[in-house]
């Protein structure tokens, strides 16, 4: 090859960095594979006839999909963190909370452990500060530095 | 010859559509957002400013594309695109009318320019495409211009790099300029700014990052385009990655641009919102007055 090779991204390093972000699950291929049917189930709620059947009997409707027990349980409990652990993606899951008549803000807020009011207030007050929320490693290093100061 | 006269950035959050639909766009919460957009709406309706065609860059939010098909860059080449039912019924807005001649021309040109596009015909458009239209064009019974939907995958990792997006914009510019018809073309980059919709970190907003991003998008896009994904994720939240789409818009405007208008607001539901009008420096019009508006928590005072 006469042309210089382009700089390539190391895929392993690229993916590993995602695990360093606090309180965040990046929708990687691994999660996409795990959540395939959960996400496809959620997509099905874009059709009115499916919403009607789902609302009539959540559990029976879920039996029509190849979901893990954990995924079924998470959907029935409307536990969005648990759904994301099962490979769900929020844009797919939005079909579920929209069918429930819930807003993006209520659904997102439900994953933070805050009440809807507390979450809404936090947003009005300027949102969650990025301070200390960017890197688990950096937080650990900072905590270590603090700890050693206290020790000395 | 057709030319890209203008780049616009806009939020596309569904709550804005809901505010229009429920008649709450003038209340205390949404009023400042719609006030900030009013200047853009008035500007675009002035003589000479309404585009013939908008190339509207957005991300499909698991609507037209599910886990079955995940195109990185797609272009809608059909005559028209209906608003999708995203779980609460379709948004009550007009069908989006395409421009198949220009869309196919851009698709062919991009492929010849090494961007291997996915070409779509039967495709419904979600809030990512229709909310910016409502915010900027209002509520007409028919949209006043043609729209070429240009969905980009920013949902399933990896999305395209900022660099790739910036270069794609440059190729869109070249494609438009080789279309023989005399058309005023806009490229809109939508989504953003900082936001995270999932997990315990949901609600993240990073004003410093956003304002710096706006500055660099205008003045230093070349270096900005090298920002790696991890930095968007750490600084701007997991959904802040949508900002790579703004680089497509910026790439389509050439080296130097003039900012006619910048609007930044916190919060719009879960997000920080940025809306701008940019034009290539050599053909730029007059800036709006005021040229920069910031509103929402801690910003209204800062701007005064």
CA distance A120 to B201: 14
Which residues are within 8 A (CB) of A111 and not within 5 positions of it... i.e. 6 or more apart?
A: A80, A81, A84, B198, B199, B200, B202
Asked whether the CA dihedral A60, A62, A65, A68 is positive or negative, the reply is negative
Tell me which chain B residues have a C-beta less than 8 angstroms from the C-beta of A108.
Answer: 196-198, 202-203, 270
State residue A149's pLDDT score: 53
Instruction: Please state the rounded mean pLDDT for residues A125-146.
Output: 92
Measured between beta carbons, the chain A residues lying within 8 angstroms of B87 are 45-46, 51, 94-99
CB contact under 8 A, A29 and B157: yes
Beta bridge partners of B274: B264
Q: In this prediction, what percent of chain A has a pLDDT beyond 70? A: 94
B296 within 8 A of B32, measured Cβ to Cβ? yes
Contact B230/A18, CB-based, under 8 Å?
yes
The CA distance from B189 to B98, in Å, is 17
Instruction: Give the nearest chain B residue to A120 (CA atoms).
Output: B269
Q: Which residue among A36, A94, A135 places its CB closest to the CB of B87? A: A94
Instruction: Please indicate whether residue A147 or residue B22 has the higher confidence score (pLDDT).
Output: B22
Please say if B127 is a catalytic residue.
yes
Look-up of token digits 């301070």: A131
Pairing relationship of beta strands B96-97 and B80-81 according to DSSP bridges: antiparallel
Question: Does A45 lie at the interface with B, CB-CB under 8 angstroms?
Answer: yes
Question: Could you tell me the two tokens for B81?
Answer: 């695109």
Question: What pLDDT, on a 0 to 100 scale, did the predictor assign at position A152?
Answer: 42
pLDDT beyond 90 at A126: yes
Give B196→chain A minimum CA distance, Å: 8
- Would you state the torsion angle of the CA atoms of residues A82, A86, A88, A90, taken in this order, to the nearest 10 degrees? 30
pLDDT computed for residue B134 by the predictor: 98
Q: Would an 8 Å CB–CB cutoff place A74 in contact with chain B?
A: no
- Chain B: closest CA distance from residue A148 (Å): 27
Residue A121: which residues within 8 A CB-CB, separation 6 or more?
Answer: none
- Chain center to CA of B110: 19
Q: Which of B61, B105, B195, B265 is catalytic?
A: B195
Q: Does pTM surpass 0.90? A: yes
pLDDT at A148: 59
Best residue of B87, B151, B242 to probe chain A, by most A CBs closer than 10 Å: B87
Please check whether the domain covering B3-303 is classified as CATH 3.90.1150.10: no
Give pLDDT, residue A5: 73
Cross-chain Cβ contact A126/B270 below 8 Å: no
- The full set of domain ranges for chain B reads 3-303
Distance from CA of B165 to the nearest CA of A (A): 16
- Which DSSP letter does residue B1 get? -
* CATH superfamily name and code, A24-111: Dioxygenase LigAB, LigA subunit (1.10.700.10)
Distances (CA, A) of B153 to A101, B148, B157, B165, B269: 26, 16, 8, 11, 23
Active-site hit among B12, B99, B105, B127: B127
B46 CA: distance to closest CA in chain A (Å): 34
Contact (CB, 8 A) for B250 and B278: yes
Give A93-118 pLDDT, tens digit per residue: 999 999 999 999 999 999 999 999 99
Q: Residue B302: what pLDDT?
A: 45
Chain A residue numbers with beta carbons less than 8 Å from the beta carbon of B269 are 103-105, 123
Query: Are the Cβ atoms of B157 and A26 closer than 8 angstroms?
Result: yes
**Any B CB within 8 A of A55 CB:** no
pLDDT of residue B297: 74
Instruction: For chain A, give the mean pLDDT.
Output: 93
Give the residue ranges of chain B where pLDDT is below 50: 301-304
Question: Would you say B93 and B83 are in contact if contact means Cβ atoms under 8 Å apart?
Answer: yes
Predicted confidence band at A32 (pLDDT cuts at 50, 70, 90)?
very high
C-alpha pair distances (Å), B244 with each of B88, B236, B239: 28, 11, 11
Contact flag A133-B207 (C-beta cutoff 8 Å): no
Collect all residues of chain A within an 8 Å Cβ-Cβ radius of residue B204.
127-130, 133
The reply to whether A23 touches chain B by the CB within 8 Å rule is: yes
Nearest-CB residue to B86 (from A80, A95, A112): A95
| Nearest Cα residue in chain B from A11 | B158
List the structure tokens of A105.
């803000």
Which of A21, A119, A126 is facing B205, going by the closest CB pair? A126
């Amino acid at each position: 090859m006469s042309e210089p090779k382009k700089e390539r991204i190391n895929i392993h390093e690229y993916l590993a960095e995602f695990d360093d972000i606090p309180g965040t699950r990046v929708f990687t291929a691994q999660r996409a594979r795990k959540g395939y049917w959960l996400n496809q189930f959620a997509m099905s709620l874009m059709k009115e006839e499916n919403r009607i059947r789902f609302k009539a009997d959540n559990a029976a409707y879920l039996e029509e999909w190849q979901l893990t027990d954990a995924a079924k349980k998470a959907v029935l409990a409307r536990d969005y963190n648990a759904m994301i652990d099962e490979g769900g993606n929020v844009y797919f899951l939005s079909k579920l909370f929209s069918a429930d008549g819930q807003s993006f803000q209520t659904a997102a807020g439900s994953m933070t452990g805050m009440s809807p009011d507390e979450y809404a207030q936090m947003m009005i007050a300027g949102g969650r500060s990025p301070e200390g929320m960017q890197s688990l490693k950096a937080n650990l290093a900072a905590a270590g530095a603090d700890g050693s100061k206290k020790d000395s | 010859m057709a030319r890209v006269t203008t780049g616009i950035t806009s939020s596309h959050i569904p709550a804005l559509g809901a505010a229009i639909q429920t008649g709450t766009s003038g209340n205390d919460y949404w009023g400042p957002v719609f006030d900030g957009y009013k200047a853009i709406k008035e500007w675009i309706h002035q003589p000479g400013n309404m585009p013939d065609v908008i190339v509207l860059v957005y991300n499909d939010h698991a609507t037209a594309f599910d886990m079955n098909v995940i195109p990185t860059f797609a272009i809608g080449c059909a005559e028209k695109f209906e608003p999708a039912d995203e779980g609460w019924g379709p948004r009550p807005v007009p069908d989006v009318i395409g421009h198949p001649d220009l869309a196919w021309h851009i698709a062919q040109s991009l492929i010849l320019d090494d961007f291997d596009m996915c070409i779509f015909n039967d495709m419904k458009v979600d809030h990512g495409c229709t909310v910016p239209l409502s915010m900027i064009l209002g509520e007409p019974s028919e949209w006043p211009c043609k729209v070429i939907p240009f969905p980009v995958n920013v949902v399933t990792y990896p999305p395209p790099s900022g660099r790739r997006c910036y270069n794609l914009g440059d190729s869109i510019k070249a494609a438009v300029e080789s279309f023989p018809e005399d058309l005023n073309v806009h490229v809109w980059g939508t989504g953003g700014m900082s936001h995270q919709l999932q997990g315990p970190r949901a609600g993240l907003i990073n004003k410093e990052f956003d304002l710096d991003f706006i500055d660099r998008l205008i003045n230093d896009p070349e270096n900005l385009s090298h920002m790696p994904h991890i930095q968007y994720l750490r600084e701007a939240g997991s959904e802040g990655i949508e900002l790579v789409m703004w680089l497509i818009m910026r790439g389509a405007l050439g080296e130097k641009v003039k900012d006619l208008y910048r609007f930044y607001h916190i919060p719009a539901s879960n997000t920080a919102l940025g809306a701008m009008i940019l034009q290539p420096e050599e053909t730029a019009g007059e800036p709006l007055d005021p040229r920069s508006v910031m509103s929402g928590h801690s910003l209204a005072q800062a701007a005064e």
